Every structure is written in C-alpha cells, then in structure tokens.
Amino acid sequence: MLTCSQLGRTLPPPEARTLLSDVNFTLERGEVLAVVGPSGAGKSTLLRLLNRLDEPTSGAVTLNGIDTRTIPPRELRRRIGMVMQRAYLFPGTVAENVAFGPKQQGKNISTDQIDALLTHVGLAGYASRDALTLSGGEAQRVAITRALANEPQVLLLDEPTSALDETARHSVEALLESLIRERHLTCVWVTHSIEQARTMAGKVLAVEAGRVSAYGIAAEVLHA
Amino acid sequence: MLNYFFHSQLSLGLAECLVAALLALAVTLLARTRAPGLLKELPLAELRGVIQIVAVGAILAFMLRGPQWTSLLVLIAMMLAAASIVRKRAKKIPRAFMLALISICTGAGIVLAVMIVFGVIPLKITMLVPVGSMVIANTMNTQSLFLDRLRGEATSHVGEIESALALGASADAAVLPYLNAAFRACLIPSVDNIRSLGIVWIPGIMAGMVLSGASPLYAALYQFVVLTTIFSASALACFVSSHLVTRRIFTVHEQLLLR
Ligand SMILES: Nc1ncnc2c1ncn2[C@@H]1O[C@H](COP(=O)(O)OP(=O)(O)OP(=O)(O)O)[C@@H](O)[C@H]1O
Ligand SMILES: [Mg+2]
C-alpha cells in the first residue's frame, strides 16, 4: 500500500518557489494511479518525492504503513522502481543494463534470469546487444526490464511512452498493462494522454500549478 | 641599449618592464578593433601584475636574510590562495573551498615533502619558493579543470545519474563513470607537458637556471624533475578530491544537487 499525506516540496531560499503542495492519495496493492496535468504542473516532481530523488519539505509518504524517510534511500528506490520519459540506458550491453540494479546490492542475476526477463518483454535474443544502439521502443522496454530486475512493489512511470511513435507506444502500453496485472504492481503513471489514463488507471490525480485539482476514481474524474 | 642609461639593476629592471609593457600596449592599440575591452583592462592588469611580482620579489629579498624555513609559510599562503581561486572556478560545487584546500594541501604538500626529504628540492628559499609555486599553481589548474569537467559531465548526464540512483545505486556508483572521465581529462595537459618536454617548449625554470649559470644538462634533467613532480601532485590532489566531491554534489539521502 502506498499513501501520500499533505505531501509537498518548496525550493530552498532564495528561490523559495512551491513546486507542489498538499498531495493526498491512497493506493492499494495493484492499483494504478494516473497523474495528469499541464506541463510544469509538478507531475515529475511528485514521482521524485515518492522515491526520494527529491526531498519532500512537507507531508509524508508511507509504503506498507512505514514512513519512507525511515527506509534507507537505496532500499526505498529498489522497492519503488522508476521508468522515465527517456530510457537513459548505460553504455554497455542490454544484459549489463538489466543486471545493474541487482549488482548494486551485490546480487548476481543469472544470464538465464536475464534472458527470461527479456523474452517476457518481447526482447528475446537482445542480451548481448549494445544498449545505446537500440530504437526508442526497444530502449524503453530495456528500461522497464531494468527496473523490474529489482523486483519492486511500486512502479513510477514518468510519461514512459511520450517519446515513442504510435506503434511503439501501443506495444509498450500493452506490455506495462500485462506486467502490472501479473506482478500486482502498484503504479503511479504520469501521462499527458487522457486516453491512456482512462484505459490504464483505476484512479486519477489531476495536478495544476503545483496543486491537486481533482482526485478520485478514473471514470468519475475524467468524465467531469 | 638600456644598460647604457641605467646602471643599477633595479632601475634597469623597471626600464625593461616599461619597454615590455609599452610594447604590449602598442600591440593592443593596433588590434583594438578585435577586443575593445582589452585596451581598458590591459594597463590596469599590467600595473597590478608588476606591483604583485615586485612585492613578491621584495618579500623574497627580505626572507633571504632570515631563516630558510620561512619559505614554508609562503607555500602555505600560496595553497590558500590557490584554493580560493579553484572555489571561484567551481562555483556550482558546494563547499568547494575546503575541498580544494584539502586536495591541494595533500597533493602538493605530500609530493613536495617527499621531494624535500630526498633532497631533490633543497630547503632553500631560492629553490623551494619558485619550484613549490610551480607545483602548487599547476595543481590548482588541474583541480579547476577536474571540478569543471566533473560538473560538465554530471550536468549533461543527469538522466543517467538519476536513473542509476533510482535503481538503488549509491551516489558513488552513480557518478563513477563521470568522475573517471573528469579525472582522465584533467591530467591530459600535465601528461602532454611531460611528453612534449624540450620539443614543443623549454619551460621557464630551465631557462632561468641556464640564465643564472647552471649547466644546461643539469638544468634539463631538473626540468624533468619539476614536471613529473607537478604530475604527481596534480594526480594526487585530484584523487583526493574525487573522493571528497561526491559528498558535495549529493545530499546525505543520495539526491543529486547539480543540474
Ligand atoms: N530542482 C528544481 N529547481 C527549480 N525548479 C524546479 C526543479 N525541479 C522542478 N522545478 C520546476 O518545478 C515545476 C514543475 O516541474 P515538473 O518537472 O514536476 O513538471 P511536470 O508536470 O512534470 O511537467 P512536464 O509535463 O513538462 O514534464 C516546473 O516549473 C519546474 O521548472
Ligand atoms: Mg515531467
């Protein structure tokens, strides 16, 4: 279970601008929350507060009832995985990218496990390919696989399909949908597309200029 | 020609400075369309430079009458000044002054101390101050290069660094490729100086030693000593700061501060 109460972030002085304030939501295991809103509203900021890439200046996030500030950041980020708008793959092979997360914990993920993961996301036989020469859609699949290799409970998705063309977008969407269902992933999905929010998410959080303008069941919020 | 008119060494020196300064001014006047601002800056810069270096000369002359260890004080003052110059260059990196001071003091300090213990650099003001200042100045430049390059590498790879953090990497692991790249890049000038020694340039200290009557062969060997000492000091300083810098560009919760 993932909850957020009165969560916010104000930049330190001299800028002292409030990027986000008073965000509240509760997600049960396996629920998907779509975060929608105009550019610059604070959607990415919200995700970064959830896995603590940025420090909240107010409120709290809890994961399974535990305040995330009491979990060491590395541990937290393993439990709350993230996929960004661009893949940002590391130089090296696809397999090395997938093995990156487990390796940080000193764990070794076997080549069989890597192959199985890659097959699952439709990238069978890609293990030894150069990560930096992949197409946008392939790279994004590797980024998703890389996050899954840590076996997270929560997945944060920051417009994971917005840099892709129509076909690649549909296939990555379908992939994410099946992964979320199979693994009962709790998911916070930032999207520009109302259509995507409607099809993917059970709940919707609309953000405007750093404030929540609507929150609730997807069908109700998106209908209004 | 000048020594026909000026008989004391000091007045001769000043007259020589005047000729050099006027020549620089004349060239700038000629090229003023290229850099109009330079013409305003130059006289002041020249005046400042001459006063600074004369002051140093006067201090050296005064120190020469006292005990030789006072040269160590001069080196310490130089390290402080060097650290403050690095700090200006590395504005985006928090608490860069202490970082630079610790790195320069360890790098230049340890390397110079080893050279002094072995007697390679005699504990004489006339040697320690000029050689020490070359080592410190070059260590300073390498530090500035290192921090500037690291900032550049990190800010152009924010996505990769934060992706690594998001996968549970430590701050050290996330920034490692960029630290290594900056480390390699900042030592290139120092290595190239050693490589091109004698072919591309005959550096100042050798010229100075030959001018003051040392055998050109010994002066040549000593020049190699100075350049390799500079390399050791620079590399050691960067090594130290590469270990201290992570704590400055990340928060304690492993959040990237640079962007
Ligand atoms: N570290 C920071 N320093 C200063 N301003 C920041 C910082 N991070 C984010 N901002 C600002 O916060 C606001 C919200 O940014 P955010 O990236 O969360 O928007 P967004 O909703 O994700 O927009 P988009 O849809 O374009 O991705 C923007 O005005 C941005 O400039
Ligand atoms: Mg965004």
C-alpha span between A34 and A42 (Å, rounded): 13
Distance from CA of A222 to the nearest CA of B (A): 30
Domains of chain A from N-terminus onward: 2-223 (3.40.50.300)
Question: B200: pLDDT confidence band, cut at 50, 70 and 90?
Answer: low
Contact A81 B166 (CB under 8 A): yes
* Residue B216 confidence (pLDDT) above 90: no
Residues B122-138: tens digit of each pLDDT: 888 888 888 899 999 99
Ligand 1 atom nearest to CA at A46: 18
How far from chain centre, in Å, is Cα A199? 17
Q: Residue A224 has what pLDDT?
A: 64
Question: B39: pLDDT confidence band, cut at 50, 70 and 90?
Answer: confident
Q: Is the pTM of this model over 0.80?
A: yes
End-to-end CA separation in angstroms for chain B: 59
Q: H/E element holding A24?
A: strand A18-27
Q: Is A98 helix (H, G, I), strand (E, B) or coil?
A: helix
Angle of helix B125-155 versus helix B96-117 axis, rounded to 10: 140
Tokens read off for A48: 């970064």
C-alpha span between B163 and A117 (Å, rounded): 19
A48 lines ligand 1 (CB under 6 A): no
Contact B170 A81 (CB under 8 A): no
Cβ contacts (< 8 Å) between A152 and chain B: which residues?
A: none
Contact B210, B188 (CB under 8 A): no
Contact A104 B168 (CB under 8 A): yes
Higher pLDDT among residues B26 and B161, named by residue: B161
- Name the amino acid, one letter, at B111: V
- Residue among A191, A101, A198 at smallest CA distance from A144: A101
What is each CA distance from B210 to B18, B74, B133, B187, B214, in whole angstroms?
Answer: 25, 25, 19, 28, 5
C-alpha span between B55 and B50 (Å, rounded): 8
* Residue B210 confidence (pLDDT) above 80: no
Q: Tell me how far the alpha carbon of residue A85 lies from the centroid of ligand 2, in angstroms.
A: 8
ipTM for this model: 0.95
Contact B144, B189 (CB under 8 A): no
Q: Residue B224 has what pLDDT?
A: 87
Contact A213, A206 (CB under 8 A): yes
* Residue A145 confidence (pLDDT) above 70: yes
Q: Is the dihedral of CA A89, A90, A95, A96 positive or negative?
A: negative
Tokens read off for A87: 């893949």
Write down the domain spans for chain B. Answer: 1-65, 68-249
Residues B136-166: tens digit of each pLDDT: 999 999 999 999 999 999 999 999 999 999 9
A21 lines ligand 1 (CB under 6 A): no
Distance from CA of B160 to the nearest CA of A (A): 5
C-alpha span between A90 and A142 (Å, rounded): 11
Contacts of A114-121 with C-beta under 8 Å, sequence gap 24+, read: A114/A149, A117/A145, A117/A148, A117/A149, A118/A94, A118/A145, A120/A145, A121/A145, A121/A175, A121/A179
Mean pLDDT along residues A84-101: 96
- Residue among B138, B106, B110 at smallest CA distance from B242: B106
Output phi, psi for A160, to 5 deg.
Answer: -70, -15
C-alpha span between B172 and B194 (Å, rounded): 31
Angle at B165 between CA B102 and CA A127, to 5 degrees: 125
Mean pLDDT along residues A52-61: 96
Q: Residue B201 has what pLDDT?
A: 65
Q: Residue A135 has what pLDDT?
A: 92
